[in-house]
Chains A and B, each alone.
Chain A
């Protein structure tokens, strides 16, 4: 069954009919499996990967290392929850090593992101320190390369 998830992870625009043909299932069975995965939140969502640099829209992404004091009985979960509730927060990961949480934030401007970190993130109780790294350029995300790939022009045709 992970076959279906693998195919969707690679390309979520595949229709149930296409998935059915590719896996040897019926389209109905695919639909049922997908609904169940969605219900169980194994499948969380379907998103496009956009290169905003090619548009007029300004976009800034920052990766923030956050140090926190874990809470008794709750560990890091409660503090992570308080952070991920913000719309500006794209991702939150619990890390091993020198800091505790990686928080990825997107905003429209540098100022907007800086404001969020200074006013909202750093002021959360139990956050003991932050280090903000602005992302200058995206090369690859979710296995997708942003730069236009050149293709070999002249190809063999005879075989």
Chain B
């Protein structure tokens, strides 16, 4: 008999299983269940983008692409970043097309971390950063962002987490699950701490297009930070292209060269069909972004307003497509709240505790769902909260 426990490395064994899955397994067996749990757009990819993918297949474009991605796509990304975010990255040498933003993060950590190197990760945040850092032999250092700071990373918190082993800091803004954003002044305060150090910023800007009431600013926009920043972005959230698995990394050319080396051995090249579709998205998709964003904005206001009317305090999310209401007033832990809400009312939301330190006492509800579902979920929440009062 093989003892596979001895075969597996300690690093992967120490990665805890996701605490989220059970909600979906339970929900799928329920009649009339509503999911505000899934973290992906509810729109189908706009037709002209799908059509471009189909057309590339019709023409027989089914071979590998260059490792770093089609040059037309990298040019399109370069122009897009200039047009939308005033970022300057050259198509040759500074951009690599990846299999989703996730691969970009993985490449960034694995190309930079020596065993024991620390990566500062603000939480609550997307669950992948810590495990990816650990798998790259690094040490995740979690720092909490707080509702009273509008879930921004403060310079004090950042400074207190820095040690001689700090290699990088992740900036997950606009933030899943909190909806927190960092404006230029907030970034400037962090930049003050980081200038003159060798610490790199891994800026996960996958939600950059989904901000409400202000334009996203990248850390790479700031003086002396461009050379210290790796920008991770992708097509999933902006163009509703999650299943196409396409993202990109931009940064200093010395780093991108190393990342391209790793990418070529691990992945070869990102899916060709997706890359052709993505060229169309970048060339003619600005209107799609605006349309979807407007739709999300209405739902966002509706859901936040709904929580507040039911007596749950809710930070106004200014980016991404999540609300992060505080459920402490119910006296339940966030996991108890989600378990009972799902069992009693068949609505799935995700416990804040799943997103790392600082998430306890909150739940994540995604508003990438229809207005009908959101309205029904709020009705059920009202009934649920009443049931808690009466027991």
Contact = CB atoms under 8 A, between A and B. Distances in A.
B126 A11 contact: no
Interface in A62-80: none
A46 interface: no
A18 B302 contact: yes
Interface residues of B, number: 22
Contacts of B375: 18
Contacts of A157: 20-21, 24, 37-38
A159 B298 CA distance: 23
Interface string A8-45: 00010010001001111000000000000000000000
Q: Give the interface centre of B37, B176, B243, B301 by most chain A CB atoms within 10 Å.
A: B301
A139 interface: no
A interface residue count range (under 10 / 10 to 19 / 20 to 34 / 35 or more):
10 to 19
Contacts, number: 41
A19 to B, nearest CB: 9
A30 to B, nearest CB: 13
B299 interface: yes
A50 B177 CA distance: 39
B302 A21 contact: yes
Contacts of B24: 157
B39 A159 contact: yes
Given A18-B371, A18-B375, A21-B306, A159 B301 contact: no
Given A14-B371, A18-B371, A24 B301 contact: yes
Given A22-B297, A24-B301, A159-B127, 15 more contacts: A7-B298, A11-B371, A18-B371, A21-B301, A21-B306, A22-B301, A22-B302, A23-B298, A155-B40, A157-B20, A157-B37, A157-B38, A159-B20, A159-B38, A159-B176
9 contacts: A18-B302, A22-B302, A152-B243, A156-B40, A157-B20, A158-B20, A158-B127, A159-B40, A159-B126
